[in-house]
């Protein structure tokens, strides 16, 4: 039995236009259906590009799919003169449950600071979205051995001042940058080390009850073949999957990690 309901999340990144996205989701739903997937036991979420969300909403609602979805980013603002940005309000209206905040590609390609990310976490909650806050170190930091401190620093800055009630619903994804899209997967013990450290830090910042409720994911080159070992770790409550989420069969095999 799981302490927390596992979350298997697929980040499509900038792949799958609105037609391809629907096909992928339909295939995923069929595959999970065939495998008698129990959504109450394991939650499945996809993060399509913004332009796919309306189609995803229609498909999920129309076919009553056991899949939830979210945006890959949101603005820290609610509306106004922010050309190209997307408000949490809009995501909420499209039925999103989750939103990624601080994915390493947002941090590096768009130079998003922890201050901005802290505001984005707040904006997500303002619009009833659950943030999936991504944290994790780059290769140099890992090699220097300061990866735990680095990652906890990001965590502290990004949740600074957030109340315990909100934090209890938060999802934190530990994604070592050196393992994202590289085929280099962190060992289950590396994932556990960091997830345990994150939970301990949340216990310090809040309390044990709150920290026990937070779901912690690992992300970085997760595939059907390595998912089970990672998900067996005590403090790992799910995975965030990039590349392998673009293949319905492969993603479904991650969802079925128990068999």
Q: Which is nearer to ligand PEP, 11 or 76 (CB)?
A: 11
Q: Considering the candidates 175, 201, 233, 250, report the single residue annotated as catalytic.
A: 175
Q: Considering the candidates 37, 43, 103, 201, report the single residue annotated as catalytic.
A: 103
Half-sphere exposure of 144 (CA within 13 A, CB side): 10
Draw the binding track, 153-182, toward ligand PEP (x: CB under 6 A; -: no contact). ----------------------x----xx-
**Minimal distance, residue 223 CB to ligand PEP, in Å:** 8
Secondary structure letter of residue 110 according to DSSP:
S
Nearest to 156 by CA among 29, 63, 148: 148
Residue 243 contacts ligand PEP per CB under 6 A: yes
Question: At how many degrees (to 10) do helices 53-63 and 18-34 cross?
Answer: 30
Draw the binding track, 5-44, toward ligand PEP (x: CB under 6 A; -: no contact). ------x---------------------------------
Is there a catalytic annotation at residue 175? yes
CA distance 227 to 76: 33
CA distance 121 to 124: 5
C-alpha distance from residue 160 to each of 48, 174, 215 (Å): 28, 18, 18
Count the site residues for ligand PEP by CB under 6 A: 13
Tokens of 75: 């603005």
Q: Which residues bind ligand PEP (CB under 6 A)?
A: 11, 175, 180-181, 219-222, 240-244
Binding residues for substrate: 11-13, 181, 221, 242-243
């Amino acid at each position: 039995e799981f302490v927390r309901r596992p979350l298997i999340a697929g980040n499509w990144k900038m792949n799958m236009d609105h037609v391809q996205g629907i096909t992928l989701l339909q295939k995923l739903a069929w595959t999970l259906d065939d495998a008698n997937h129990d959504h109450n036991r394991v939650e499945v979420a996809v993060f399509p590009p913004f332009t796919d969300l309306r189609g995803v909403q229609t498909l999920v609602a129309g076919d009553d799919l056991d899949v939830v979805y979210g945006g890959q980013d949101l603005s820290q603002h609610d509306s106004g003169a922010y050309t190209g940005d997307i408000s949490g309000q809009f995501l909420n209206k499209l039925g999103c449950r989750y939103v990624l905040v601080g994915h390493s590609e947002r941090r590096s390609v768009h130079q998003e600071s922890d201050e901005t990310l802290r505001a984005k976490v707040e904006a997500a909650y303002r619009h009833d979205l659950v943030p999936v806050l991504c944290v994790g170190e780059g290769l140099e930091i890992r090699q220097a051995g300061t990866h735990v401190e680095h990652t906890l620093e990001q965590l502290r800055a990004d949740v600074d001042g957030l109340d315990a009630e909100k934090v209890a619903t938060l999802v934190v994804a530990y994604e070592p940058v050196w393992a994202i899209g590289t085929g280099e997967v962190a060992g289950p013990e590396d994932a556990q080390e960091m997830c345990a450290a994150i939970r301990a830090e949340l216990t310090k910042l809040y309390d044990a009850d709150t920290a026990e409720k937070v779901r912690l994911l690992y992300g970085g080159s997760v595939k059907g073949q390595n998912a089970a070992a990672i998900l067996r770790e005590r403090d790992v409550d799910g995975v965030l999957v990039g590349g392998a989420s673009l293949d319905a069969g492969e993603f479904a095999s991650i969802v079925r990690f128990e068999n």
